[in-house]
Every structure is written in C-alpha cells, then in structure tokens.
Amino acid sequence: MKNIAIFASGAGSNAKKIIDHLRNSDTIKVKVILCNKPGAGVLDIAAAESIPTLLIDKEMFFRSDDYVSILQEMEIDLVVLAGFLWKVPANLVAAFPDKIINIHPALLPKFGGKGMYGHFVHEAVIAAGESETGITIHYVNDKYDDGRVILQERCNVDPTDTPAIVAKKVHALEHRWYPVIVERLLS
C-alpha cells in the first residue's frame, strides 16, 4: 500500500476529487490530511470521509523536524499539496525528494510566486490580457511555485471572462488531472 498525505488550506475541492478517485484503490490510500487553517472546508471533507486530520502548528512546522518525523512514521510515499498556501520548509523538501507535488492554477512560470493564489492568480491573468491560462502540476522545492513541471494543461481566456469564470475553467482542469497524476506517480 502507498500512502498519501494531502496538505490543504481551503475549501478542499481538489482533495475531495483525489479522495473520490482513490476510494476503491487497493494500492493507494489517503492516510492523513494536514491543514493550517482552523475551520477550513477541507476539514469537513476529511471528517465526512473519516480521514484523520492534523492541524498544523506554525512554529513546529517552520522551526522543527516534527512534521518530517510524523510523515515518516506514517510511511507517507507522496505529499500532495492541494491549495496549501504556506511555503514548504527546506527540511521537509529534503526529507521527501521528488515526493512532494503541488498544483498551481496558472501556466507557471507565469503568475506564480508568493501571494499568487486563488482569485489573485485569475485577476492577474485577466489584467495581463492573456488569451489562455491553465494548470501546472509540479514537484515542490523550497521556493514558491518553482520545481520541475510534471504536467501543464491549458484553457482559453475569452475577452469577456471574469475571474470567477476563469476560476471555474481552471478548477475543471484541476479536478480532471490532479487525481490521475497522483495515481500515475504512485503506480
């Protein structure tokens, strides 16, 4: 059995798609969901699915090896960031080389970096007059949105699109591709 840890800060729609996709898997299990935001929607999803959760302690996350030990003890094979908005500390990256992946709601290296998340990304895409955007699934290193690209998928941005419309198109791509890539990386 391969074990996944999902890190999420928000609504958790990507986490939910991954859980659904792997529900009947004999080989891959969503073992734990780590969240840094009390009250985040992803915690309700985890509760409904009876998946254990850990609320991340900021001090411990950035200043100790405690989360490295926790994930190692849980025998985690892949850490999946799904709307996780903190930078992953270097000790965690070093302990899980090429075993931490992220999804970003744009075509990196465009529209990435600190502060570029959720609707801010889509607003910036429209303000820049882009005619296309998309998703990037990539390995995580200790810089924001910087690691090796695993997959990019594109969608059109029409001149009349609002950030909400772009978000909807991008989410559809995320939901279609992230679960498949997670499965592929562990097969």
Catalytic residues: 104
User: Minimum CB separation from ligand GAR for residue 162, in Å?
Assistant: 16
The nearest distance, CB 104 to ligand GAR, in angstroms, is 5
What residue is closest to ligand GAR based on CB? 83
Distances 4 to 80, 166, 186 between C-alpha atoms, Å:
7, 29, 9
Which of 10, 134, 147, 179 is in the footprint of ligand GAR by CB under 6 A?
A: 10
Considering only 10-18, 24-32, 123-131, 149-157, which stretch makes contact with ligand GAR by CB under 6 A?
10-18
Give 97: exposed, middle or buried? Use CB within 10 Å, 0-12, 13-18, 19+.
exposed
* String marking each residue 101-120 x if it binds ligand GAR according to CB under 6 A: --xxx----------xxx--
Q: Which residues contact 14 (CB under 8 A, 6 or more apart)?
A: 8, 82, 83, 103, 174, 175, 178
In the list 8, 51, 93, 100, the residue contacting ligand GAR (rule: CB under 6 A) is 8
